[in-house]
Amino acid sequence: MRTIGVEEELLLVDAESARPRAVAAAVLAGADGEKDEVVAELQQQQLETNTTPCATLPELRAEIRNWRRRAGDLAATEGAEVAALATSPLPVAPELTPGGRYRRIAEAFGLTAQEQLTCGCHIHVQVESDEEGVAVLDRIRVRLAPLLALSANSPLWQGWDTGYASYRYQVFGRWPTTGPPPAFGSPDGYRHTVNRLLATGTLLDQGMVYFDARLSARYPTVEVRINDVCQDADDAVLLAALVRGLVETASRAWQDGEPAPRTEPDLLRLAAWRASRSGLTGALLHPETQRPAAAREVVEDLVDHVADALRDAGDLALVRAGVERLLTDGNGAARQRTAYARGGPTEAVRDAVTRTRA
């Protein structure tokens, strides 16, 4: 069983007003025993939590809930809460986290870094080698956009409805290396691409290769980064199950000698843009035809594509139920818009705080 781990970026908000608060440094001062699991991010209005590698979905669910709860307890010491929101519904002036690397990023990228208060969900799935990892990347790149549609949780920005289901994806796309990964062909091809990017002098380090999916520089994993952070822990577990299914399915295809799809990068970027714009409420691009299709059709096709791997892991029933719940009840973007209609952006934040710690 391939292990999976989840990194979640969470927004820090005032417990009374629901406005974002730049208190990460003070919050983390009390996290002496958890420096690897609850850490700083680019801005002081956010934290990142990290699960350990998990073999089963119940284990992963317990880890996600535990670290959300722990982050919330730490935030409470400063009169704050954590909210699983991929952008801030309320107006905010981001405050950079002190530190040499973050300072250099701000100096190099100006307003892009200063405005970059976004929260994603990064899913790590174990692979045995770089050769397997690159073979997986080359095969899953055509299947990433539906994950963004499922996880979309950032329709509101600075007090306004943006018209996007995931505006985080648009904002994060201002960095120079974001978007669908190219086809690499081999570990040497992957390293050649990364080294060429670094040689331009534009990026500070390999950590700024922000492809929607990449090989982790720290762990023996494929890291899928396209997702918004999810309001509900169960949605994050669902995404992790789908990503593990994608990795296992791609690895089996590689071992069977099946060639990787050769879809052009511009079509993959358009598919991700479409998922960012409409989420689950409009048409997506079908990965087989690159033509518009109903979101339900595209998402159900994703589940069918990985069904054998999900069945072998014992995850198929949970995934089918979770996907049907999201297609019927809506994703985080839909929940935010419902709360926004009820009480404006402040209500959207308060509703997310409740869901994050539920």
Instruction: Express each pLDDT in 213-243 by its tens digit.
Output: 999 999 999 999 999 999 999 999 999 999 9
Residue 32 pLDDT exceeds 90: no
User: What is the structure's pLDDT at 33?
Assistant: 65
Q: Coil, strand or helix: which one is 65? A: helix
- Stretch 65-89: mean pLDDT: 97
CA distance 129 to 140: 16
Pull the structure tokens for residue 215.
């090989």
- Stretch 23-46: mean pLDDT: 87
CA distance 116 to 46: 11
Give percent of the chain above pLDDT 90: 96
* Domains of the chain, first to last: 4-356 (3.30.590.20)
Residue 88 pLDDT exceeds 80: yes
C-alpha of 225 from chain center: 5
Q: What are phi and psi of 161, to 5 degrees?
A: -80, 120
Q: What is the pTM of this model?
A: 0.97
- Stretch 161-186: mean pLDDT: 97
**pLDDT single digits (tens) 286-324:** 999 999 999 999 999 999 999 999 999 999 999 999 999
CA distance 288 to 119: 30
**pLDDT single digits (tens) 102-147:** 999 999 999 999 999 999 999 999 999 999 999 999 999 999 999 9
User: What is the structure's pLDDT at 239?
Assistant: 98
Q: How many CA atoms lie within 13 A of 199 on its CB side?
A: 6
**pLDDT single digits (tens) 182-197:** 999 999 999 999 999 9
Q: Coil, strand or helix: which one is 292? A: strand
User: What is the structure's pLDDT at 35?
Assistant: 63
User: What is the structure's pLDDT at 30?
Assistant: 80
CA distance 84 to 120: 9
C-alpha of 240 from chain center: 10
Strands 38-40 and 4-14: unpaired
pLDDT category of residue 99 using cuts at 50, 70 and 90? confident
User: What is the structure's pLDDT at 177?
Assistant: 96
